[in-house]
Structure 1
Amino acid sequence: MTASVVLKFPVFTVTEFRPLDRQIPKNHPSNSVKTYLPLKTPRFPRQVKARTTLMEAAQSGSSVNTSTNASMKLLFVEMGVGYDQHGQDITAAAMRACRDAISSNSIPAFRRGSIPGVTFGQMKLQIKLGVPHSLQQSLDIRRVKSVFPYGEIVKFEVVDGGMICSSGVLVEEMGDKNDDCYIVNAAVYVGY
């Protein structure tokens, strides 16, 4: 058999259950009414500063310094990953990363004049590739740039990144020299 004690507070109700069928010493902790919900105002040890995001700045018309070219007004960033599992061709992996970044997007705003005063010919691109350091010298940038059907490439940057891992199999018929798989990451910045 149990009995309940209900305490009413302005915002919530706390219910405490105490067994009635056994004797509890008077000094036992269960004889005191406990509030399990904190009633204190939460403390914040430090102030939280608001930061302006790139999107908020663009919407308000102010500018934010980014790693992209300051002369370009950034609209969006597309990201992709490319692999070359057989043949060990870092350029093929980079081209696939760029295609992956742009393949799921359509940009009608440039063609339809949705951005006042901006024409299709003013589209600018900045390309940033993460490529394993040991393979950067063998990257054919001209071939990678050919992936982009339109837009002026104003900056092309290659940084340490990506990965070399095992594909798990060496297939000589596919041009493999070993079982290495090359992985490249791409970020494509689109603006005007």
Structure 2
Amino acid sequence: MILEISNLKQRMSEGGNWQSFHDEITALHTKATTEEEYVILLEAHAILVELSKSCFDDATYRRLLPIIASEYLLLLNKEATQNGLVNSNLLERITRREVETGRLDPNDEFRKLAVAGEDMIGKTSGVTAHKCKHGDWFFYGMSFATILVYGLEMISWSPLWLIVIGLVAGWKINERERSKIKNLRAH
């Protein structure tokens, strides 16, 4: 566990600047890798929300509250992010954990959306096709075409027509992979 995360709540109990702790929680959240670290940071965020009642006047606190609530949901989304995309199954598990700990209302719209997302997309544990990101096969096709272009250029033959073939081949392969994953989820 990252040392700054493990002793964060202890340091917060000793007092300090609200904004500094806020910035630190946000920065440490990008470094967290385990559920335990994420939970500690979310607990620290909840403590910070409680402290903000005494740190700010009522008008400022009321303006700050929706921002803090949105930030909390963003932290949950970041925890559920894998390969740049929010994993709906992971988000459902995270929001369930947050409901169980009392940090999230079970009737919260975000929780309902997380459950609906998992139900709609389905469990992905059975998906066995290799990952398919937009552009993977496009990249391979363009790389192959580029190598051919330079190779054919050495024999004085204009190979520009291969770029189009590379684009089409990359697109076709990418679509094939995406349909494999789609078909696996449907069954």
Tell me the TM-score normalized by structure 1.
Answer: 0.24
Higher RCO (C-alpha 8 Å, min separation 6): 1
Please tell me whether Structure 1 or Structure 2 has the larger radius of gyration of its CA atoms: 1
Q: Which has the higher strand share?
A: 1
**When you count helix as a share of all residues, which structure comes out higher?**
2
